[in-house]
Structure 1
Amino acid sequence: MHAIPLKTNNFNSMKKNIKIIVFALLIIGSSISCEDYLETDSNSTFTEETAFSNLDFATKAVFGIYGNITSYYMYTYHLGLFYKCDTDIELSLSEDNGSNRSLAHYAGTEGSTGLDRVWNLMYQTIERANICIDNLPQSPIWEGEYSDEAHRLYGEAVTLRALLYYELVNLWGDVPFKVKSTQDGDDYYLPKTDRDLIYEHLIQDLADVEEYVPWMTVTGTAERVNRAFVKGLRARMALSYAGYSLRNTSFETRRGRYWEDYYKIANEECREIMESGKHTLNPDFENIFKTIHAYSQDLTYKEVLFEVPYGRTYSGRVAYSIGMKHRSNDTKYGKAAAEICVAPNYFYSFNRNDIRRDVSVALFDYNNSKNVGKQYLLPYNKADYYKPTKWRRSWIDPALGGGASKVSYTGVNWPLMRYADVILMFAESENEMNGPTPAAKSALSLVRQRAFSEGDWATDVVNYVDSVSTNKESFFNAIVDERAWEFGGEMLRKYDLVRWNLLGTKLDEMQEDCQKLINGDPKYAHVPTYIYWKYLDDNETIEILNPDYEMPSSVSVEGYTKSSWIPKMSDSHKSTYTYRMSIAAHGYDRTKNNHLYPIHSDVLSASNGMLTNDQIP
């Protein structure tokens, strides 16, 4: 492995007031005093020695990193949902606004609102992690009675720091890299570090702390870092390194310099998680997401390896900003703005027997003012009504209706990694190294078995996997498809497409397929002209008879309403549909692969000339 070795921590003996000093390129030379969770006396006497003098204080210090991680993802998955948008699945179909929507459409500028806030918050959180990483090894709890707990806290801090740099690199490419807490006399004006060096360092970091962090069978929660997440994050970062990205030097799109070695790392980590037996697939795909909406965790199967914890009514906008649409006057379940769409062709890309389809993208919502809390068939002529429906306000339990119906902070957690991701990363890395081996085929089959009823396995698992395993390229394409069907709406797609160097290709295919869908192309011959649907006995829940096959036009099915569907779209509606779809990714240039974001002008100004937007072609 060609990794950068860890630097030895150089602790000085001075007992400084604990401050999260954010270097000038981030917050114009300001410093942020310690948070209340670290206070014992006054800020003037609370030292680093005090903060890490016992297990309770040290734990609170590390929990401060988690607190900022939650703040970052709360911000990211409201405004920043758009940072990971405009793929062949997740889209923003609203006009540019100089902020989130412009960023989604690859049309961000140095002045785009929000870029500076995300950058600053991430570096503030990295500084918190660095303080913990610097101080824990020299603390009184590092050896002796509490050593296991202290090492665990250290491993958590290292992992959370790696997670933040992973996000920074994906958003901005080469960035300033700092792995020690800020001390008096440090040079605050740091240049960018090549992302290969950042990845190499952090991937080694994660290897060094794996044994410090226990499995979820010990931690008993998905809201704190566990060993499988450390290993899974290491695999995810290794795949990003081994994959493609726009490079600053000459705007070439290429792999990391030692990419073959890093496929091996990803493969090994995923294999070890799978062989540990600590995690399995939840046999009920829908239940993964319903459990999260019930403010609960699945500690039986432990499919979710790590999730960002939120608080009901005061943090997190999952099932509000992203998910199924609810009108503002839905007093039963509450409002859901549902700002993120999915491409209309996504529903029809699924095998009709795939259980994941109706969980991931539904053909109904609650967007009707006549009867609140009641499902309605989507309008057949609206491109922006298709939503990622793994997130549903109607699944929140207890419901956020009544007096809380306008609350946007749902408190529903956000899953950052699932065991299914580990399995498919293993299949992908195995194929890259050795082609579609029996092990790679078995991994793909395992994910598909959950997606289909057992009676369909012969056709949709065994025969399908055999058919896509004739060569390395065919199996790779199957992985690209499988990750779309498995993770749609979980905002993983953009980073996947970038590292596969398929972002432009898949954006073009999506736009072309959406046109084929409305123009009656033979590819979509299975899309019905009319849909037959009815309400079940509760008079609120829809049942659709034929979402993906044609019924004879003369047929009248007793008890069902016959409604026009996509092929009945008028020319004027087609024009509106085409315009709406054209908004998505309109700023993306395939010749430039401009998937990275500009650094905000305020950050540039504060950098004393050290930073420029040299990554923008």
Structure 2
Amino acid sequence: MKNRFFFLFVFVFAVFGCKNDDDIQVRTGDIKITVLTENNTIVLGAIVKILPNDIEKITNENGEVFFEDLSEGTYTVIVSVPGDTINEEFVIEPGQLNLLTILVDGIVVIEPDPLDINFLINTIYARLKDDTLFDSGGYSMYWGDIGVDVVSTNTTVSSNYRDLDKFELTPTNSIINDVWVSHYETIIEANTGLEFLESIDPISNPEIDKELLTGELRFLRALLYFNLVKLYGNPVLITSGNNIDISNPPIFIQDTEQVYDLVVEDLQYAQDNLVVSGPNNRASVAAAQALLGKVYIQMAGFPLFQTDKYQKALEEFEKLRGGFNLEPNYEDVFDVSNEVNNSEVIFSIDFSADNPNEGSNYGVLWGPLGLAIEDNLLLVPSFLENYFEGPIDFPLNTNDQRFNQNIATFTVQNGMVTNTEDITDWRPYKFKKDVSSPVIRNGESFDFPYLRYADILLLIAEAENAINGPTPAAYEAVNMVRRRAFGTADYELTEGLNQEEFLEAILKERQVELCFEGHRKDDLIRTQKLESTINSFNNDNPGDVKDFQSHEFIWPIPQIEINLNPNTIQNPGY
């Protein structure tokens, strides 16, 4: 069982429904579930989940959760606390409040004593592979490429993903809640490690490189907070470990700029103390430089508009020159056999099916039709057209080498590949695998390129253009990416673009180069093009409209946080 902690709060899910009145055709009832220890002590924050509805919430200060308007029938409730999980069936009798009490063993939080700092850091790296972080259901799916103009969700997808894609955002959406919890679980682990390192005497512990490990933890914490501030706008700022008194929740800072300030401070420290180079699946000076440059770019745009950060971003990116290059062939960027010699990837999250619980689900949730198990993502036609100079005609004719890496123009049945001219059967691809072998849940190996040099070059062009307009340096940064994509200089950007036209060209280049890597929505938000992009999508797809409101460039603060800490302030509009 994987125990989850919310801050130092015990994190428990409970299942809720919606209440109907009066006579309707479906006979429904409500249930109150109370969670107690065996000595009748109330359990606050227990995870309560009901199946088959798959709804989760947490117990309140009375140890209770309520589920309303459940259809008549038999359900399973799963209650989880650290050290114990209880499964129990219950029957909903219609037209009444059903009562159920669950007894759990005394809550035990097990901590290594003394703390094994290397084990803790390795655990944090492993957590990055969670489906709420960077696995196939992670950042690129729930945020980066859905809800915009790259992919849309299939009707087969979980309603929670569909709601994110359609901007039907609520504080009770289970993904919005789970993503928050996963990030804070990992941040608290990093904080715990930092407190431990601060407390040790380096003379008495010569085997521990205090500054190096502190730099590694601060890099990882910065990465996580950078996610949170983009997703939620005003996340709570926690810099302590697991010694929070849940009976008297503290008032945490909720301020976008202060979160960014911590991220910047962490990455500056990391640059001063990490190894200069090493395997790209571990934090390094270069990874901290690249991430700090990306942070500055995001701060320079909407909503902070700290335009002085464009120059700071360029200064960080300049430090990377000479250390990284574009791979000669686009497909080599994503080739697992090239991971050791990859000259483009600066920091990656490596999934390995050879290690328990570290295999990836890429190919499970989305991928070629007939190969992907769930087929959750569909390609937006206007995105596909960006790879072609004119309409999509057959036989296909595109000189952009990225197309065949990123788009599956075929279906798979019994290991046999069949090309299709029906573009509605095309699917996102990119992280390729042998189609003759079936997809296995948690069984795929590949490296997710969180930071790579093509991304940096296009950000150099964006920052240079923002400061000075489309200079030769800005053009060259984009054209380096285009020359690799087309194998020739014949497709370099048209000369003479104005500043706005050049920005549009950069964003288009980022869309086709970095698709399915989780960048698109962030790009559109900071350049204030999210709403216009969604409006264009809605005009082109009247049967699949996204109900975007101006405040929905960030998610709501999750309801579990509001429930556990009433001092938390909800984002405007929610």
Distance of 1:184 and 1:509 partners within structure 2: 47
User: What's 2:339 paired with?
Assistant: 298
User: What's 1:212 paired with?
Assistant: 273
Q: Which has the higher contact order (CA 8 A, sep 6+)?
A: 1
RMSD between aligned residues: 3.0
Contact 1:322 1:391 in 2 (8 A): no
Contact 1:356 1:451 in 2 (8 A): yes
Contact 1:110 1:598 in 2 (8 A): yes
Counterparts in 2 of 1:481-520, with a 5 A limit?
A: 481-512=508-539, 514=540
More strand as a share of residues:
2
Counterparts in 2 of 1:600-611, with a 5 A limit?
A: 600-607=558-565, 609-611=566-568
Counterparts in 2 of 1:536-615, with a 5 A limit?
A: 579=543, 582-583=544-545, 586-589=546-549, 592-607=550-565, 609-615=566-572
User: What's 2:427 paired with?
Assistant: 387
Write the deviation string for residues 69-127 of structure 1: whole angstroms up to 9, x where unpaired.
22255676326623331211122142785412212221132222232222112111101
User: Which residue type is aligned with residue 171 of structure 1?
Assistant: L
Distance of 1:72 and 1:159 partners within structure 2: 21
User: What's 2:7 paired with?
Assistant: 22
The 1:479–1:45 alpha-carbon spacing in structure 2 relative to 1, beyond 3 Å, is: closer
User: What's 1:374 paired with?
Assistant: 416
* 1:600 Cα deviation from its structure 2 partner: 3.0
Distance of 1:423 and 1:60 partners within structure 2: 35
Write the deviation string for residues 161-213 of structure 1: whole angstroms up to 9, x where unpaired.
11111111121110110112243669633345111111022112211220211
Question: Mean alpha-carbon deviation: is it higher for 235-244 or for 137-146?
Answer: 137-146
Return 5+ residue gaps in structure 1 as ranges: 1-18, 34-41, 52-56, 245-253, 328-334, 516-577
The 1:460–1:142 alpha-carbon spacing in structure 2 relative to 1, beyond 3 Å, is: farther
The 1:440–1:601 alpha-carbon spacing in structure 2 relative to 1, beyond 3 Å, is: same
1:466 equivalent to 2:505? Answer no
2:243 aligns to what SS in structure 1?
coil
Identity of aligned residues (%): 22
Please give the TM-score of this superposition, normalised by the length of structure 2. Answer: 0.74
1:285 to 309, 314, 330: 330
Distance of 2:564 and 2:225 partners within structure 1: 20
Distance of 2:348 and 2:82 partners within structure 1: 27
The 1:499–1:32 alpha-carbon spacing in structure 2 relative to 1, beyond 3 Å, is: farther
Write the deviation string for residues 566-595 of structure 1: whole angstroms up to 9, x where unpaired.
xxxxxxxxxxxx53xx15xx2213xx2412
1:139 to 193, 200, 207: 200
User: What's 2:225 paired with?
Assistant: 165
The 1:132–1:601 alpha-carbon spacing in structure 2 relative to 1, beyond 3 Å, is: same
User: What's 1:105 paired with?
Assistant: 166
Distance of 2:558 and 2:5 partners within structure 1: 22
Contact 1:359 1:390 in 2 (8 A): yes
Counterparts in 2 of 1:3-402, with a 5 A limit?
A: 22-24=7-9, 46-47=112-113, 50-51=114-115, 57-71=116-130, 73=132, 77-78=136-137, 81-84=141-144, 85-94=146-155, 98-141=159-202, 146=207, 149-183=209-243, 188-216=249-277, 219=278, 221-244=279-302, 254-256=303-305, 259-274=306-321, 277-289=322-334, 291-292=335-336, 296-312=337-353, 314=357, 315-327=359-371, 335-350=372-387, 351=389, 352-366=398-412, 368=413, 372-378=414-420, 380=422, 383=424, 385-394=425-434, 400-401=437-438
User: Which residue type is aligned with residue 594 of structure 1?
Assistant: E
Distance of 2:143 and 2:508 partners within structure 1: 22
* 1:323 Cα deviation from its structure 2 partner: 2.5
Write the deviation string for residues 382-402 of structure 1: whole angstroms up to 9, x where unpaired.
64x33222133436xxx744x
User: What's 2:35 paired with?
Assistant: none
Number of equivalent positions: 467
* 1:46 Cα deviation from its structure 2 partner: 4.7
User: What's 2:19 paired with?
Assistant: none
Contact 2:369 2:411 in 1 (8 A): yes
Write the deviation string for residues 8-45 of structure 1: whole angstroms up to 9, x where unpaired.
xxxxxxxxxxx988244966568969xxxxxxxx9889
User: What's 1:430 paired with?
Assistant: 464
1:413 aligns to what SS in structure 2?
strand
Contact 1:280 1:303 in 2 (8 A): yes
Question: Mean alpha-carbon deviation: is it higher for 166-175 or for 346-355?
Answer: 346-355
* 1:491 Cα deviation from its structure 2 partner: 2.0
Distance of 1:282 and 1:180 partners within structure 2: 41
Contact 2:379 2:427 in 1 (8 A): yes
Distance of 1:144 and 1:272 partners within structure 2: 33
* 1:297 Cα deviation from its structure 2 partner: 4.3
* 1:269 Cα deviation from its structure 2 partner: 0.8
* 1:424 Cα deviation from its structure 2 partner: 1.1
Contact 2:219 2:288 in 1 (8 A): yes
The 1:354–1:43 alpha-carbon spacing in structure 2 relative to 1, beyond 3 Å, is: closer
